[in-house]
Every structure is written in C-alpha cells, then in structure tokens.
Amino acid sequence: MLLLYLALQEKFFDITNQTTLNEFVFLELVTTPLLNTLLFLVFAVIYLMTLAFNLTIIVIVKLDLHLHTPMYFFLSYLAVVEILYTTTTVPKMLANFLQENKTISFNGCFTQMFFFVNFGSIECVLLAVMAYDRYVAICSPLHYSVIMNRQVCLRLAAVSVFIAFINGLVQAVFTSRLPFCKNTTINHFICDIPPLLKLSCSDTRLNEFFVYLLGGFVIVGSFVLTLISYAYIVTTILKIRTSKGRRKAFSTCTSHLTVVSIFFGTLTYTYVRPASNYSLDDDKVVFIIYSTVTPLLNPFIYSFRNRDIQGAFRRVFKNIIQV
C-alpha cells in the first residue's frame, strides 16, 4: 500500500520542485506575554494533574491484588496510554507559550504526528476492547474468567498497539511526502494532519482519501464495535427482573459510555469529515478537549468514583502508613 501511494504521488506531484524544508513554525495563539504565561500555567497544572491521577491508577491496580482482573488491567493500560498521549504534545505546547521561536524541525514534526496518531488510535481500539469486556461480564458472567483470561487480554492489548502503529506510521509518512512551499506556519498547537494538509501547496485529495480510509477504519470501526457491544448489553440488562439489578448493571457501563461519547465525538469531528469543512480555529478548541481535558477527566469518570478503586486506595494507603 505504501509503495502504491508513493508511486501515485510521484505522478500527481512534482516533488523535484519542492523547496527544501527544515522546520515549521507554530502560529502564535496570543501576543500578550501575560496571557502566554497564564496559558502556560493553566496547561502545566492540567498536565501535572493528568500525570499524577493516571499514575495513581497504575500504582493502585499494580499493588492491590483485588484489582488484578481484566477490567482493571484495561483501566491501567488506558492510564498508561493517556500519559503517553498527553506527553507527546503538551510539553512542546508549554514550551511554545514561553519561547519567541515557536519552531519544530521537519523530522520532529512528523515524529510528533506519528506518536500522537499512534496513541490516539490505541485509545480508540482500547475503548472498543473495554466495551467487549463489559459485554462478556454482563452477558456471559459465568464464562467471564474463561473468555477474558490473561492471554486474551494481552492479545487484545497487542492488537490495539499493532493497529495504532500501522495507522500512525502511514499517516505520518503520507503527510511528510507532501510538498510544502514558502508558507511553513502551522495554524495549530501541534503537528496534526488537518493543518498540515491545509499548509501543503499541492493537491491533497489522495492524502485525504488515506486519512478517511485508515482514520475511518480505526475511529468509526472502534465506535461501531462499541455500539454493538452496548446493544447486547442493554438488551441483557432490560431482561433483569429487579430494578436494583438493572441499576447496578447500568452503573458499570455509564462511565465507559461517557468517555466514549466525548472521545469519539471529538475525534470524528476532527478527522472524519470533508476537508472543505475544516475550521482550524474550531479544531484547536476540539483538540484541547480530546488531548488534555479527556485524559484528565478519565481517572475521575472511570476510577475515582469506583468503589473498588476507593477501597483499594484505602488499603494501599494504609499499608504505606504502616510501613
């Protein structure tokens, strides 16, 4: 597929006329030093809180034997992905708030794009896997430990990494092959696909096709699988005779549905729509939601409101004090 793309691109674009490009420049968000400092402090606090909360989840799940189950394995895996996801973009964004020279090298730009798309894709697939885990737990509770054994969990995690790696690599390579001429100013916080497609001085329809093909496969595919899982879950829950049982079953799913709605909604708005409808100013706002706000909220939505996590936190904290 990659060779086919490069051959087609050589046909459509005269790359020999491309100006040698060493770096991109990020568009300044605000021009007032005070506002830059304020934004730096706000996003620095959000980033540090994201690291602290997600690391807390990882440590608690690791230390408490009661949480060594598939559900909490995937929650801790999600916490690791959230840390890597935000670390790919936020530190550079923070540096740009304080630096006059808001540049990034050509190789650095597409390396950032690769990891950003990669970790975002892992989260997409992981959310679908977590929906499947809830499906098995609610629809086949007697066979849950057999179906969702350790080997299956590790394989599902490996599948998410493989799919994400392919998507991140293809998107970064395809975009880096575009010709960028005199204008090298990126109207965004990071090296994302839509602003770089806007920046190219060539026909980007072929790139857009691959964005829709692979991005749609990962985002829409994961979302559809999640919806299918929850269709079966809701059908099973409605068959429960007692209202208390139905509430308990629904309570295990509402947190996941909240995260799915926010994350897939913002990603779909950014990547699965025609390029003619792109608004980079709107995309920057949406980017803040799925790249910084969501990783901060996930520990609260998923874990800190969970009684098992609360109990585990008390046990771990008590053991630390006793030591």
pLDDT at 163 over 70: yes
Does residue 300 lie within any of the structural domains?
Answer: yes
Dump pLDDT digits (tens) for 21-66: 688 888 777 667 788 889 899 999 999 999 999 999 998 888 888 8
Does residue 213 lie within any of the structural domains?
Answer: yes
Positive or negative: CA dihedral 220, 221, 223, 227: positive
Residue 174 to residue 169: CA distance in whole angstroms: 8
Does residue 174 lie within any of the structural domains?
Answer: yes
**Residues 6 or more apart in contact with residue 85 via CB below 8 angstroms:** 116, 119, 120, 123, 291, 295
Q: What is the pLDDT of residue 272?
A: 65
Does residue 293 lie within any of the structural domains?
Answer: yes
Dump pLDDT digits (tens) for 148-160: 999 999 999 999 9
Considering its fold, how many domains does the chain have in total?
A: 1
Residue 245 to residue 45: CA distance in whole angstroms: 40
Residue 154 to residue 134: CA distance in whole angstroms: 17
Residue 37 to residue 45: CA distance in whole angstroms: 12
Does residue 18 lie within any of the structural domains?
Answer: no
pLDDT at 11 over 50: no
Q: What is the pLDDT of residue 81?
A: 93
Report the relative pairing of strands 103-105 and 23-26 from DSSP bridges.
Answer: antiparallel
Does residue 17 lie within any of the structural domains?
Answer: no
pLDDT at 304 over 70: no
Instruction: Give the residue numbers spanning the domain of 181.
Output: 25-322
pLDDT at 277 over 60: no
Q: 16 versus 231: which is more confidently predicted? A: 231
Q: How much of the chain is helix, strand and coil, in % rounded to 5?
A: 80, 5, 15
Place of tokens 């737990």: 137
Q: What is the pTM of this model?
A: 0.84
CB of 43 closer than 8 Å to CB of 87: no
Q: Cα 309 to chain center, whole Å? A: 23
Residue 55 to residue 79: CA distance in whole angstroms: 7
For the chain, the average pLDDT equals: 81
Model confidence band, residue 6 (pLDDT cutoffs 50, 70, 90): very low
CA atoms within 13 A on the CB side of 235: 9
CA atoms within 13 A on the CB side of 87: 10
Helix H, strand E, coil C: the string for 27-90 is CCCCCCHHHHHHHHHHHHHHHHHHHHHHHHHHHHHHHCHHHCCHHHHHHHHHHHHHHHHHHHHH
Dump pLDDT digits (tens) for 69-126: 998 899 899 999 999 999 999 999 888 888 878 889 989 999 999 999 999 999 989 9
pLDDT at 3 over 90: no
The CATH number assigned to the domain holding 58 equals 1.20.1070.10
CB of 203 closer than 8 Å to CB of 13: yes
Q: State mean pLDDT over 191-219.
A: 82
Model confidence band, residue 234 (pLDDT cutoffs 50, 70, 90): confident
Does residue 12 lie within any of the structural domains?
Answer: no
User: Which of 133, 307, 305 is closest to 233 using CA atoms?
Assistant: 133
Model confidence band, residue 162 (pLDDT cutoffs 50, 70, 90): very high
Q: What is the pLDDT of residue 282?
A: 63
Model confidence band, residue 296 (pLDDT cutoffs 50, 70, 90): confident
Q: State mean pLDDT over 214-232.
A: 86
Q: What is the pLDDT of residue 13?
A: 40
pLDDT at 208 over 50: yes
Instruction: Return the SS3 of 14.
Output: coil
pLDDT at 262 over 80: no
Top mean-pLDDT range of 106-110, 271-275, 281-285: 106-110
Does residue 218 lie within any of the structural domains?
Answer: yes
Instruction: Return the SS3 of 118.
Output: helix
